[in-house]
């Protein structure tokens, strides 16, 4: 039977996370998702990935000139000493340092989020797919500058064999088991508003008792 990479689960042993160009200047142009939601989602994604032991590769473009530094909320959750690779190439995968950093993780599934979706996330995802990686784009941890760009970016990703998902689904797939000792922390990191009320009520009830 032929092995189908679309049916292979993400795990904490086979995945790495590539965050591309979540920069202050680019965030000012995002229109397909609120800046607050995008900031929340990418920051939570990074926190959950780190808790799960997922290697992170983080990159910017022309941080000292065109687009500025990483958003401070993301910078604040990254490990001290993690190098943010600043590059000039449009496609992050075309920078040897970025590609080598991904290869050095030894993982064959690459989770990607970027601003903009159709360029910063899509281009390296398509390139990684062409080189045999399983590439996944977290759409809600990415953003772009118009509805048209979002729609055409998603179409191109799907046409290229990239798996499209959201940040929380990718994280819980890697978690795999809610009995894992990391589960409470991962869910707290993900900060999913629709999934926190019961826990909050239980905690409040415990304090009241």
| Alpha-carbon gap, residue 197 to 83, rounded angstroms | 37
- The verdict on whether 44 is a catalytic residue reads no
* CA dihedral of residues 58, 162, 195, 115 (deg, nearest 10): 40
Largest CA distance in the chain: 58
Q: Of residues 117, 120, 163, 175, which has the active-site annotation?
A: 120
| Alpha-carbon gap, residue 83 to 60, rounded angstroms | 11
Of the candidates 151, 106, 127, the residue with the CA atom closest to the CA atom of residue 16: 106
Residues with catalytic roles: 120
């Amino acid at each position: 039977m032929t092995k189908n990479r679309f049916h292979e689960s993400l795990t904490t042993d086979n995945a790495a996370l590539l965050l591309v160009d979540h920069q202050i200047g680019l965030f000012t142009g995002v229109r397909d998702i609120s800046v607050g939601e995008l900031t929340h989602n990418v920051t939570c994604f990074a926190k959950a990935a780190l808790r799960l032991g997922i290697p992170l590769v983080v990159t910017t473009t022309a941080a000292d000139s065109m687009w500025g530094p990483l958003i401070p909320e993301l910078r604040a959750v990254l490990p001290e000493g993690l190098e943010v690779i600043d590059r000039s190439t449009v496609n992050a995968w075309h920078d040897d340092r970025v590609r080598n950093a991904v290869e050095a993780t030894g993982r064959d599934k690459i989770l990607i989020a970027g601003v903009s979706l159709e360029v910063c996330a899509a281009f390296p995802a398509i390139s990684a797919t062409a080189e045999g990686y399983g590439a996944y784009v977290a759409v809600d941890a990415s953003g772009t500058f118009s509805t048209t760009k979002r729609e055409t970016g998603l179409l191109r990703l799907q046409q290229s064999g990239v798996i499209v998902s959201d940040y929380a689904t990718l994280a819980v797939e890697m978690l795999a088991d809610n009995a894992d000792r990391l589960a409470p922390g991962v869910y707290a990191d993900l900060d999913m508003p629709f999934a926190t009320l019961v826990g909050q009520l239980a905690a409040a009830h415990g304090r009241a008792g």
